[in-house]
Structure 1
Amino acid sequence: MVTSASLSPYETKTQEIARQLISATREHRSFFAQMRDQMRWDDKMLGWAMSNPGLRVQLFRFIDCLPSLHSKAEIARHLQEYLGNEIVELPGALKGLLGFASPDSMPGQIAATTVSTGVEALAHRYIAGETMQQVIKTIERLRKDRMAFTVDLLGEAVITEAEAQSYLNRYLDLLAQLTEASQRWSTVEQIDRADGEDLPRVQASVKLTAFYSQFDPLDEQGSQEKVSDRIRLLLRRAKELGAAIHFDMEQYQYKATILTILKQLLMEEEFRDRADIGITLQAYLRDSIGDLKDLITWAKERGTPVTVRLVKGAYWDQETIKAVQKDWPQPVFNDKEATDANFEAMTRLLLENHDYLYAAIGSHNVRSQSLALAIAETLNIPRRRFECQVLYGMADKLGKAIADRGYRVRVYCPYGELIPGMSYLIRRLLENTANSSFLRQNLEERPIEELLKAPVLQPGDQVSEIGVQKTQPHTPHPTPHTPFTNAPDTDYALSSYRQEVRQALQQVRQQLGKTYLPLVNGEYINTVNYVDSVNPSNPSEVVGQIGLLSVEQADQAIAAAKAAFPAWKRTPARERADILRRAADLMEQRRQELIAWMVFETGKVVKEADPEVSEAIDFCRYYADEMERLERGVAYDYPGETNRYHYQPRGVSLIISPWNFPLAIPTGMTVASLVAGNCTLLKPAEVSSVIAAKLAEILIEAGIPKGVFQFVPGKGSTVGAHMVKHPDVHMITFTGSQEVGCRIYADAAILQPGQKHLKRVIAEMGGKNAIIVDESADLDQAVQGVVQSAFGYSGQKCSACSRVVVLEPIYDVFLARLVEAVRSLNLGPAELPGTKVGPVIDANAQARIREYIEKGKLDSEVALEMPAPEGGYFVGPVIFRDVPPTAVIAQEEIFGPVLAVMRAKTFDEALEIANGTNFALTGGLYSRTPSHIDRAQAEFEVGNLYINRGITGAIVARQPFGGFKLSGVGSKAGGPDYLLQFLEPRTVTENVQRQGFAPIEGAD
């Protein structure tokens, strides 16, 4: 536990040094400098951002978008869209600048030039140069001020293997050029030598994950092999040149894998004696002090120190939002003071172990740096083992003040073009303008006592030395009114979960080949006919043998359901809901096992199967809550009468489920029907019947009574069609192809002899989903989103992207990156952790997809056709370019890894193309143009529209799922209307008057 630093033996010296440093950083500027700054638009923008939170958000969004705008008219138009129209209150100067009538006008041109020039000036404050020549000049200026450097290449998103190789090559070139330049530099004793030892003059900072585009903690071994090969090349070349390499730390999901890879690599004989290598730790992580202790133990064994750069951390907002969205424990501290307290504890631990690890203290907080200096001076730490670090353009005066005390100061110098550097610039702007920023507080000249107060951890912000551990198991809702929360997906960044899923795959493989029988009236019954369900990655491997129901047995099942209905109808909703909650808990307990069954039976990779288990759990818990809400009904009472609006179940319900979501969709449809009080028959797709049998086991174990739920696998063309037409079936819920869905809809509409009701049909029938990418889009984000949406689960999701409509100005650039990103995907058996694209479901699907590919070649050009692995039902991803909107592959649902890329000249045309099919399921837009986002929300004809994110992976309650037109009929699954389809509404009115009087509520 971290306690107040005021108890530290270093506190008195820390305060003394800090006051001296603050004094040095608060030197008064000259009157002329202040007047000059008043004329600079970059200063004005920073000032506005500090004083107006609403303007800050819009301004930074505009800055984020700016590099993608290629004309002054576009810049002017976006300025008005982001900052005009009374979105935020503007300062007078900015309001006057934006008062132009047309973006093409001269005032519009002036506004665009003024603001873009200001933003460029801001960027140059924090970016050391856009070319190597500029960087070298910056470095030489720093060296004159006795400051060392480390250079970082801007551009964090490596999404193709070509980019990963380019990243390595660019660093090799950077090291060579900097080394050549360094030969001209005269020695600066303070930074080039320490304790009689020459130090590397050149240092580069690299991001380990950028060496492999498919880096994934789940595929720890594969990622390690790919990354390590490239790191070895870099380290060998650095040694030849006499340069040092430092590894930055990245997002939390990669942290444990990065540390594992580096610790193993640096123990290799070739690198074990290298002291010119560094590793970064982030103090805003709750488990970071544990990581530091592990590194100390490791370094003692290694025998040669490495440098640990200690920083606060740069992704706090991102880490916090991701944890909330995923329902995971927050890996970062909740507030700045807690991070500062942990930073001080780690600083002390690191410096007190200077025999084993060298320290690089990276902070712009005067107190944080002063504590490090106090410890260094108290312990008389040799100069080789300690340095301070600051970011280029931030805390320049602090860096100079520390250098003036004789310490080695290293400046982190980002270098590169504005576009890849924009995310870096936004982080720096956020840091500089945040209320909690030390730089801002010091600029505002807060009282020194306030600035130098020792930070402490608050209750609830304790550190963890063993990492953020598993989430707590979900507990059933104690009352009907407890808010619904989604089940968290598995965080495979944690090694314990990776081990669990590996064990589950091994255990399930031992269970393959068993027989699964229909469940009728509470008993498993033998059948005449059986079918093998096989592993699509390896069809010779039988996952299970399925007993197929006969027509006569189907009649028995329907009769049993009819007989069980009266009692189930009378069962209180709370009892039915609690069964669903028990089923959800059982699914959570069996999560990794269920994942393994999906991997083997339907070829779904682990990271696609895991969210499906979460979705199935969510359906159980959400519909349980919803049914309790609906059971309360609505009362409309008037004097002399009562009116009650309530619901009753429909009767016998038939569920016909698909194979592409073999657990979540049958679970959602089945439990919705059951909790509403309907007796329910589940007929799964033949190729995913083993997983459906596992669902049946869970529902029976959860307590579903005999006859209420029945598992009825059978041939869709015979038994399925017979049950659809049966007069005792009240409703059919179907997910699958348009052809079968329309046939069910037609058959269900025919009144059968003895039938006294009209059947209700819910049918979700797929889509031909499009993503629009306009010229203002973040292309890193857009390419990754399209790749995942189009090729996740081999394009076999009803929500999958099968068309991408790209605006002409960026068409070629987008297509080139898209092709390389898809080329970089790993194809193979679903059970391999590195696989991103597995098999399609069966031989029929494989043949059908190949037919569509051949049709596509008749009127479109192939941009990429990847070879398919041998041995399974594999189809390599295919991308067609310049596809006509009327082409077969642009109109018909293919349900495979085939993507049509289409060109649009205007946003109007893009919307017209996107809407130009018979489907209306999902759609997406990547854009940073507010008017385009507004128009898509109003005009994009889809049931689920996703903006600036992938279009698959709807989450229960957050994104209720379903479409219209020929994509289906019915309310959205996972939404507040869904259960109403399984219920009949009733109104009961009672006249409560008796002989002229009526009870009056509240009367004595």
Structure 2
Amino acid sequence: MTLDPALLEPRIRAIGEDLASRSSGMSPGLFDSRWWSQAAINLAMKDPAFKAQLFRFIDVLPSLHDDAQVVRLAEEYFGEMSAHLFGAQWGLKALASTKLGASLSGKAIRHQVEQMATSFIAGASMEQAVPALRKLWEDGRAFSVDLLGEASVSEREADGYRDRCLAALQTLGEACPGWSPAPLLERDHLGPLPRVQLSIKISALYSQLDPIDPESSYRAVAARLRPLLNLAGTLPASVIFDMEQADTKELILSIFMRLFMEEPYRTFPHAGIALQAYRTDTYDDVQRLLAWSRERLVPVTIRLVKGAYWDSDAIRYRQRGWSMPLFEHKAQTDMNYERLVRLLLEQSAVIRPAFGTHNLRSLAVVEAAAEALTLPPNAWEYQMIYGMAEPFQHAMSDRGRRLRLYAPVGELLPGMAYLVRRLLENTSNESFLRKEYVESQPLSLLLSPPEAALPSPPSSMTTAPGASSTVGAVRFVNEPVANFSRDDVRVAMAGAIDQVRKQLGQRLEVSKLNTHLPTGADVRSFNPAQPEQLVGIVQSYLPADVAGLVKVAESHAEEWKHRAVAERVAVMRKAASLMREQRWELAAWEVFEEAKPWREADADVAEAIDFLEYYAGEMEQLDPPPRLGRYPGELNELFWSPRGVTVVIAPWNFPLAIPAGMVAAALVSGNPVLFKPSERASIIGYRLAGILRQAGVPAGVLQYVPGGPDVGRELVIHASVATIAFTGSKDVGLGMVQAAAVQQAGQKFVKRVIAEMGGKNAIIVDDTADLDEAVTGVVQSCTGYAGQKCSACSRVILMDSIHDAFIQRLADAVMSLRIGAAEDPATQVGPVIDGRAQKRIREYLEIGRREGRVVVDRSMEGPGYAVGPVVIAGIEPTHRLAQEEIFGPVLAVMRASSFEQALRLANGTTYALTGGLYSRSPRHIELARQAFDVGNLYINRSTTGALVGRQPFGGHRLSGIGAKAGGEEYLKQFMVARVVSEQTLRRGFAPTL
């Protein structure tokens, strides 16, 4: 039977009115006027800025170590309002001036926030929670225990979560049998129900859970789940998979379906999974689960919720430019929820429906649909959150329905993320509880049906608008990185790797790109993960060939210079389009030539596309020439002309993006280019040059110049070369600056050197930081790209109070990383580029072993030229490990007694490229903004992954000279500015312009 929604409306309204009557006279605890939280929550609902500060303060509070720190942070977040907010009776500002006063006021603040937090938490431990759970049972309400804690950052923590789950099941299994019988809670339409239910976060069971590698993720999660299911089967207990962030949905769903088809779990009778109605694809997921459940022949629970991660998921997807898998409007989610309610109830013969909601209309919809289907009252259950919507809890119990409360158990620290989600729900403009109990909206409005159209699910090719800027007539939007949670994306990448593997070892003919041909030896490129595997061969140029190359460039300079700007711009955009078409193939070549793991290879291609598009747009802005001033009788115009022959000397660590940016900037501004890729990226360099030629760059305007350092030196000093764009080491860069400063015979201009050089980048972690985020961010920043990027974190500076705890968690996280060949999607840390790099890093490790204390040493792990990550503590400012760039996954740990000292340590090198800070102190964040002397400062995020147009990249001091790449000023470095001023007043009149 299929239900007609319109025919249900009269019963929905009648049932809703009945529920409202049953809940009248009660108020949810969060909005109880006796609470401190009521005043704070009311203010948060009126003032979005205060709401952000309040939730951030609540988030940081459990990590603060003493009461004086609590007072200080309260004043940092709330200023003069802090005394009023936390109770003027405590005399907050006056008391804070004394140690005793700080203790009193700090304890008061903690007490007030903890009172709010503990209302949502059943207990700090299972032993403490059992009495609260028993009280629920005696009141006729079942429970589902959720052990607080977000994703694990190491395998040790994942083991700890598994053990806590086992202990929780054991404790409940011993306690619950002695409770009084409750027939409503212990049987449904399909049979008996266990008294014990545990909700599990899959992300906490595997620290490296990643949709890019479903197979490894399944093996790790299943290995930790099987002991839990074995115990649950004997107690008995039901086990429910919570649904988490949007990009893990498909992975969690597949783990669920695969695990419960294993023997003996295929007959496990009390498995369940949560699904989120705010997802556009949940209807299809329910259909999949229904078909699977019929095949399995054992029913499962489907817990339908609206979803608790909308804010964070929406922001992440928009940041990445991915198509949104979520409904944009609350009314759409409500409509989808009601559609899913009807579907689940219609299929209740093969599943156990459970409806998680605190919305009066949603409750009434379930009741009306079940009534229309003539289902017995035990054929479904309601689930609500412990400490929330108490009036509706009472109403459903009073109506004789089975009600289960989602009951978090755990310490306050991991509970803060949970609490903030609850507060976001309750204070949202769309919150039903807010509408009823704060805004007192009329019942007729609260029970009215949602009015919204359900859009079609987004296609695999569409992308959502991300952060953007407007350049010229075209709005620049960053090319989205690949969403490897999508099966079609993983298949495309794997297919490209297979295709490229068949092409390895071929000779690439320079004659297809250049007219002046090389005379040097062959350059052979090998796979760093398999040093015997030949990737490709190109013939190299010799220093003696440079004069001929420059002559060709000069012969094409005038024609390209006078090519219409619109035509040069179109060529760059055509090149970007070609890159999109060849995206997977280009990424696959990087997997083999540079041993880049999948995500890193793909991100390099996306950034290359960004540079082509961004500089094309920037050039459009300079054409036609801008007029300077608007004074009568004169015309002042600013013209930009190309500087002339440009040499681009590119690195191997970003073999497509960095040269694409330098070459595109030079070309689109009208210069002929001699492009010398690194010897270790000659194959990718060839493909970049080929794409630009195919896009319409004439032969001779761009010349591909593979060769060794001697060729680079000859290019730099040639008298006709006007501009040198270089990315690489400090020593080589300074040598270029010195060589370019010498005027050669016949040289008619001062050479311009644009050089991005090295870094000795530091991340400061202070005593207010979210250590989950900080550990993850430091590990990513240090080990991503095998540490082979100038922005990599090579020093972490820790405040005294968190030093030891951070190092332990950092060590565990580093030990949990997967080291391997880049072809394997499971690989997170691949090899370094070649034997020279491997040898140099290992020499530094010997220095580090003498200077400090080795905490983690995985340097001998991995295939080929691998150097696994190493962490060395006890490093002092004068040590070489604190001062010299290593260009590998080696992390020096330093200690600071104050935040000011941490800043001095961070600034205490000759470099100034990138820096990072993990802090939840507004004061520390502001100090870092002012005093952390780097070109790019990253706060509460990793220090790598700068995006074109959003985070223009580049440093100063000995980290580089020139404008930031991917920024507004970069293009102008390749041009000469000319101002033309014309007196337009003639014979007493001037044209109107």
TM class by shorter chain equals over 0.9
Q: Of 17, 24, 29, which aligns to 2:15?
A: 17
User: Identity, % of aligned pairs?
Assistant: 46
| Structure 2, gaps ≥5 residues long | none
Partner of 2:704: 711
Aligned partners of 2:83 and 2:92 also within 8 Å: no
Partner of 1:997: 988
Partner of 2:767: 775
Q: Of 291, 302, 308, which aligns to 1:308?
A: 302
Partner of 1:78: 73
- Determine if the alignment matches structure 1 residue 673 to structure 2 residue 666: yes
Mapped partners of 2:473, 2:92: distance in 1: 50
Deviates more, 1:921-930 or 1:189-198: 189-198
- Determine if the alignment matches structure 1 residue 229 to structure 2 residue 227: no
CA RMSD of aligned residues (A): 2.3
Residue by residue over 1:697-722, the C-alpha shift from the partner in whole angstroms, topping out at 9 and shown as x without a partner, is 10011000121111001111x21111
Q: Of 803, 806, 819, which aligns to 1:811?
A: 803
Q: Of 121, 129, 140, which aligns to 1:127?
A: 121
- Determine if the alignment matches structure 1 residue 688 to structure 2 residue 681: yes
Partner of 2:648: 655
Mapped partners of 2:614, 2:373: distance in 1: 59
Mapped partners of 1:639, 1:242: distance in 2: 90
Give matches, 1:301-340, under 5 Å: 301-340=295-334
Say if 1:685 and 1:85 are closer, same or farther in 2 by CA, change over 3 A.
Answer: farther
Mapped partners of 1:750, 1:228: distance in 2: 66
Mapped partners of 1:672, 1:940: distance in 2: 30
Aligned partners of 1:76 and 1:103 also within 8 Å: no
Give matches, 1:204-353, under 5 Å: 204-353=198-347
Partner of 1:43: 38
Deviates more, 1:172-181 or 1:449-458: 449-458
Could you tell me which amino acid in structure 2 is paired with residue 9 of structure 1? L
Mapped partners of 2:160, 2:293: distance in 1: 32
2:480 partner SS: coil
Say if 1:479 and 1:715 are closer, same or farther in 2 by CA, change over 3 A.
Answer: closer
- Aligned-residue offset at 1:53: 2.4
2:790 partner SS: coil
Residue by residue over 1:968-991, the C-alpha shift from the partner in whole angstroms, topping out at 9 and shown as x without a partner, is 100000000001100100011122
1:307 partner SS: strand
Mapped partners of 1:106, 1:394: distance in 2: 36
Say if 1:474 and 1:517 are closer, same or farther in 2 by CA, change over 3 A.
Answer: farther
Could you tell me which amino acid in structure 2 is paired with residue 999 of structure 1? A
TM-score by length of 2: 0.96
Residue by residue over 1:665-691, the C-alpha shift from the partner in whole angstroms, topping out at 9 and shown as x without a partner, is 000000000001010011010011100
Deviates more, 1:113-122 or 1:636-645: 636-645
Mapped partners of 1:362, 1:7: distance in 2: 20
Partner of 1:68: 63
Deviates more, 1:838-847 or 1:223-232: 223-232
Q: Of 624, 629, 636, which aligns to 2:616?
A: 624
Residue by residue over 1:355-397, the C-alpha shift from the partner in whole angstroms, topping out at 9 and shown as x without a partner, is 1211000000011111112222332324554111001011122
Partner of 1:608: 600
- Aligned-residue offset at 1:196: 8.7
Could you tell me which amino acid in structure 2 is paired with residue 79 of structure 1? A
- Aligned-residue offset at 1:152: 0.5
Aligned partners of 1:14 and 1:370 also within 8 Å: yes
Say if 1:620 and 1:329 are closer, same or farther in 2 by CA, change over 3 A.
Answer: same
Partner of 1:372: 366
Aligned partners of 1:287 and 1:468 also within 8 Å: no
Say if 1:196 and 1:348 are closer, same or farther in 2 by CA, change over 3 A.
Answer: closer
Aligned partners of 1:866 and 1:878 also within 8 Å: yes
Aligned partners of 1:827 and 1:868 also within 8 Å: no
- Aligned-residue offset at 1:9: 3.0
Could you tell me which amino acid in structure 2 is paired with residue 417 of structure 1? E
Q: Of 839, 848, 851, which aligns to 2:831?
A: 839
Residue by residue over 1:287-319, the C-alpha shift from the partner in whole angstroms, topping out at 9 and shown as x without a partner, is 111111111111121111100000000111111
- Aligned-residue offset at 1:120: 0.3
Deviates more, 1:301-310 or 1:919-928: 301-310
Give matches, 1:333-732, under 5 Å: 333-383=327-377, 385-444=379-438, 445-458=440-453, 461-464=454-457, 469-471=460-462, 480-518=472-510, 522-523=514-515, 525=517, 527-636=519-628, 637-716=630-709, 718-732=710-724
Mapped partners of 2:702, 2:988: distance in 1: 48
Q: Of 49, 54, 59, which aligns to 2:54?
A: 59
Could you tell me which amino acid in structure 2 is paired with residue 53 of structure 1? P
Mapped partners of 1:195, 1:574: distance in 2: 71
Residue by residue over 1:954-980, the C-alpha shift from the partner in whole angstroms, topping out at 9 and shown as x without a partner, is 000000000000001000000000011
| Structure 1, gaps ≥5 residues long | none
Aligned partners of 1:530 and 1:548 also within 8 Å: yes
Say if 1:504 and 1:195 are closer, same or farther in 2 by CA, change over 3 A.
Answer: closer
1:150 partner SS: strand
1:8 partner SS: helix
Could you tell me which amino acid in structure 2 is paired with residue 324 of structure 1? R
Residue by residue over 1:777-802, the C-alpha shift from the partner in whole angstroms, topping out at 9 and shown as x without a partner, is 00000000000000001100100000
Residue by residue over 1:562-608, the C-alpha shift from the partner in whole angstroms, topping out at 9 and shown as x without a partner, is 11001111111111111000111111111111110111000110111
Runs of 4+ aligned residues of structure 1 deviating over 6 Å after TM superposition are 88-92, 473-479
Say if 1:524 and 1:820 are closer, same or farther in 2 by CA, change over 3 A.
Answer: farther
Residue by residue over 1:593-640, the C-alpha shift from the partner in whole angstroms, topping out at 9 and shown as x without a partner, is 111011100011011111111110010000000011123333235333
Give the number of aligned pairs: 989
Mapped partners of 1:524, 1:95: distance in 2: 85
Mapped partners of 2:576, 2:538: distance in 1: 25
1:986 partner SS: strand
Say if 1:885 and 1:477 are closer, same or farther in 2 by CA, change over 3 A.
Answer: closer
- Aligned-residue offset at 1:109: 4.2
- Aligned-residue offset at 1:327: 0.9
Mapped partners of 1:424, 1:92: distance in 2: 22
- Aligned-residue offset at 1:337: 1.0
Could you tell me which amino acid in structure 1 is paired with residue 990 of structure 2? P
Residue by residue over 1:194-250, the C-alpha shift from the partner in whole angstroms, topping out at 9 and shown as x without a partner, is 359432000100012221111111111111111122222211111011111011111
Mapped partners of 2:815, 2:464: distance in 1: 39
- Aligned-residue offset at 1:804: 0.2
Mapped partners of 2:862, 2:927: distance in 1: 46
- Determine if the alignment matches structure 1 residue 166 to structure 2 residue 166: no
Could you tell me which amino acid in structure 2 is paired with residue 312 of structure 1? K
1:932 partner SS: helix
1:950 partner SS: coil
1:827 partner SS: coil
1:879 partner SS: strand
Aligned partners of 1:536 and 1:840 also within 8 Å: yes
Mapped partners of 1:307, 1:787: distance in 2: 38
2:244 partner SS: coil
Mapped partners of 1:94, 1:342: distance in 2: 47
Mapped partners of 1:500, 1:437: distance in 2: 41
Mapped partners of 1:89, 1:644: distance in 2: 58
Mapped partners of 1:664, 1:522: distance in 2: 22
Aligned partners of 2:513 and 2:690 also within 8 Å: no
Aligned partners of 2:831 and 2:863 also within 8 Å: no
Say if 1:664 and 1:103 are closer, same or farther in 2 by CA, change over 3 A.
Answer: farther
- Aligned-residue offset at 1:261: 1.7
